[in-house]
Amino acid sequence: MSLPLRWHDVVVDDLRRVRSEFGGEAFEQARRVIASLPGDPLLGEWLTQHVQTGDLSTCRKVKLGPDEITPDGVNLGPSLRLVYRLLPSNTDARQVEVLCIGPRRDLIAYAVAAERLQQD
């Protein structure tokens, strides 16, 4: 089964930022994940409601990009998150919509995704 794919209007800008801030390899990884979502819409992990970002329980996330290393050498794991949702609902998926690709740090990707959901 392959679902149609769409993305929020500014996801193209997100990809440009990924390329400029995280490099070509992270950009290609993000592109591959996006391309795989129509055939594997359950790829990502479910998100929930979070005090700092709001309700993202209709969304999923995929971790990607280079690992983020703290100044004291602690590896925090992949530095980027791709947030997407299934439309019209989680139980009746007919389309995949990519909402955001952004940094994991400070919950940036999640806050941006929540903001874009509110705009819709």
The domain containing residue 24 runs over which residues?
A: 5-119
- Give 53-83 pLDDT, tens digit per residue: 888 999 999 999 999 999 999 999 999 999 9
pLDDT for 120: 74
Q: How many domains, the chain?
A: 1
User: What's the CATH code of the domain at 29?
Assistant: 3.30.2310.20
Q: Is the pLDDT of residue 89 over 90?
A: no
Residue keyed to tokens 């390329």:
19
For helices 24-36 and 11-22, the axis angle rounded to 10 degrees is: 150
Describe the strand order of the beta sheet including 45-46 as a list of residue ranges.
5-7, 93-103, 75-88, 59-69, 45-46
